[in-house]
Structures are given as structure tokens and as C-alpha cells.
């Protein structure tokens, strides 16, 4: 029992002495930047008046057949984030990676 306690204490001591390394995760940055992005439910005109004109406005894309089940989705690209609209209202705003080395979700394969 004493050997177990001693080994746990030594392990804890080694872990505490190891230098801490921190990476900026996309999730952490997004949580700090959500105040600077459009909120859900804002209209296109509200977003453009508050955040300015986007760098790129993509044409609306909708699914086949039933517009009720597949509404048109429009995407606007800003410098640090992308805004998605369903019809005329924001459904989501997503932060872009700040650099290729930033750790974020795995790409879809």
C-alpha cells in the first residue's frame, strides 16, 4: 500500500513539474468571439447594417422538390466567419479557422 501511495505521489509530482503547453482550439476561440458575430434570427438587412457588406454573397441553394422541407440556404462570407441564412434570417454563424494549424473539427471524408 505504501508503495502505491509513493508511486502516485511521484507521478503527481512529475506531472506538476512538466511544462504546460497550450494550443488554441477553434472551440475556445469561437466561444470568445460569439459576441462579434450575427445572432440567430437576425434578418439579412440587420446583419448587413450592423456588420457591413460581406466579402462574398453566395447564391441561395435549396434542395429538390419540396421547398418546405428543403428551404433555400444563403451563405455570406466575412473575414473571420461565415453566416448562413434560411430564407431571409440567420440560422447560424460559424467562425473560420484563423490558420491552417488551428485545431478544429476533422474534415468530412
Pairwise CA distance, residues 101 & 106, whole Å: 12
Measured in degrees and rounded to the nearest 5, phi and psi for residue 76 equal: -115, 130
Whether 57 contacts 76, CB under 8 Å: yes
Residue matched to cell numbers 505521489: 9
Q: What is the pLDDT of residue 13?
A: 56
Q: Strand, coil or helix: what is 98?
A: coil
Give the pLDDT of residue 19: 52
Our measurement of the distance from residue 32's CA atom to the centroid of its chain's CA atoms, rounded to an integer in Å, reads: 10
Question: Domain coordinates of the chain in residue numbers?
Answer: 23-109
pLDDT value, residue 57: 96
| pLDDT tens sequence for the chain (109 residues) | 666 565 655 565 555 554 555 555 656 656 665 568 899 999 999 999 999 999 999 999 988 877 778 899 999 999 889 999 999 999 999 888 777 776 666 665 5
pTM for the predicted model, two decimal places: 0.63
DSSP 58-87: PPPB--SS-TTTS--EEEEE-SSEEEEEET
Q: Strand pairing partners for 43?
A: 89
Q: How confident is the model at residue 79, as a pLDDT?
A: 87
Residue indicated by cell numbers 466561444? 31
Amino acid at each position: 500500500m505504501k508503495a502505491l501511495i509513493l508511486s502516485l505521489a511521484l507521478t503527481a509530482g512529475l506531472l506538476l513539474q512538466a511544462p504546460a503547453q497550450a494550443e488554441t482550439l477553434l472551440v475556445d476561440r469561437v466561444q470568445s468571439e460569439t459576441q462579434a458575430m450575427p445572432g440567430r434570427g437576425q434578418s439579412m438587412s440587420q446583419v448587413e447594417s450592423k456588420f457591413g457588406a460581406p466579402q462574398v454573397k453566395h447564391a441561395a441553394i435549396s434542395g429538390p422538390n419540396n421547398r418546405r422541407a428543403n428551404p433555400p440556404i444563403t451563405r455570406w462570407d466575412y473575414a473571420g466567419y461565415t453566416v448562413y441564412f434560411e430564407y431571409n434570417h440567420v440560422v447560424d454563424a460559424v467562425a473560420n479557422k484563423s490558420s491552417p494549424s488551428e485545431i478544429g473539427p476533422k474534415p468530412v471524408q
